Amino acid sequence: MKLAVLGNNGPFPGPGGACSGYLLTEGDTKVLIDCGNGVLSNLQKFVKFEELDAIVLTHLHSDHVSDMMVLRYAVQIKMNRKQIQKPIKVYAPAEPAEEYNRLAATPGVFDISPVTESTALEFGKLKLAFAEMKHPVKCYAVSAYNGERRFVFSGDTSWNENIIAFSRGADVVMLDAGLLSKDKTGENVPHLTAAECGIAARESGAKKLILTHFWPEYDLNDLLSEAKQNFHNTILAEILKTYDI
C-alpha cells in the first residue's frame, strides 16, 4: 500500500501549497482521501482522475472538499466528450446537509453515498472502515487494510479517545497536527496538537506516525519535535512525496 501526499496544509494553503488530499494505492486500486484546494492539480502528477476507484471525504469543510467543485467540471466535460463513461464514486458524511446536497446535485458526475461508523467499503484488496471524530462538523477517521498492513488517517479532530481505539495496532497513523500546544487555547479547539498526536500514536501502539494538516505559518520542526517528545517514530507529511505503508 502506498500513500502519496497531495496536500498537507489546513485550513488554507501556504504559497504553492495545497490543503488536505492523499492518494492511497494498492496494486491497481486507487482511492483519493479528501479533495481540498490544490489537490486536483497535484493528483494528476500521479494518476488521471478517471482512474480513481473512489473518493472518500473525511468531512465537508472547504479545505477538504473544495476541489470537488472544480473536478465536476472536468468530469462533466469529459462525459460529454465520451471520454468518461461512469460517475466517480464518492463517500462522505451526510452533514452539513447543504454541503452534501451540493455534491449530490451532480447526478451522473458524482455517485455519492453517505458514510457512517458502520460503513465498510472494499476496493480491490483495500478494505476501508470509519470512526467518528470530534470536530465542528461530522468527521470520520478512515482506516485502510490490505490484508497485511493497516493505515489510519484521523481527518480533522480534537482530542478524543476514539482515535486511540481506532488506531490500535496500526502500522501507520496519519494525524491532524493542526496546532502547537501553545495555540491550544481551550478544550474547544478543532484540531490535535502535535504533542497530542504523539500521545495518540503511543497509546494506540501504532508503529509509525505521520503528522499533517499544517498551519502554513508554523515552523514544521516545532511540530515534529513536539510530537517526538511523546512518540519517537514520527515524520512530517511532505507534499508530493509517496510513502510505503
**Residue 10 touching Zn ion (CB under 5 A):** yes
Nearer to Zn ion, 62 or 233 (CB): 62
Supply the minimum distance, in Å, between the C-beta of residue 64 and Zn ion: 6
Q: How far is the C-alpha of 47 from the C-alpha of 186, rounded, in Å? A: 41
Question: Among 156, 177, 230, 243, which residue sits at the site for Zn ion (rule: CB under 5 A)?
Answer: 156
Residue closer to Zn ion, measured from CB, 43 or 75: 43
Q: Which residue lies nearer to Zn ion by CB, 30 or 138?
A: 138
d(CA 116, CA 110): 19
Measured distance CA(224)–CA(232) in Å, rounded: 10
Residue 7 touching Zn ion (CB under 5 A):
no
Judged by CB, which is closer to Zn ion: 67, or 156?
156
The site that binds Zn ion (CB under 5 A) totals a number of residues, namely 4
Q: Which stretch binds Zn ion (CB under 5 A): 4-12, 110-118, 146-154, 214-222?
A: 4-12
Write the DSSP assignment of 91-136 as a string of letters: EE---SHHHHHHHHT-TTTEEEEE--TT-EEEETTEEEEEEE--SS
Site for Zn ion in 96-155 (CB under 5 A): none
Shortest Å, Cβ 63 to Zn ion: 4
Residue nearer to Zn ion on the CB measure, 106 or 158 = 158
Nearer to Zn ion among residue 10 and residue 21 (C-beta): 10
Question: Given phi > 0 = left and psi -120 to 50 = alpha, else beta, which region is 113?
Answer: beta
- The label of the residue with cell 482512474 reads 51
Cell numbers representing residue 23 in the block: 492518494
Nearest distance from C-beta of residue 169 to Zn ion, angstroms: 26
Name the minimum Å distance from CB 156 to Zn ion.
4
The yes or no reply on residue 34 touching Zn ion (CB under 5 A) is no
**Span 53-82, contacts to Zn ion by CB under 5 A:** 61, 63
**In angstroms, what is the minimal distance from the CB of 137 to Zn ion?**
7
> Which amino acid is it at 143?
S
Q: Is 26 in the site for Zn ion (CB under 5 A)?
A: no
Interface with Zn ion by CB under 5 A: which residues? 10, 61, 63, 156
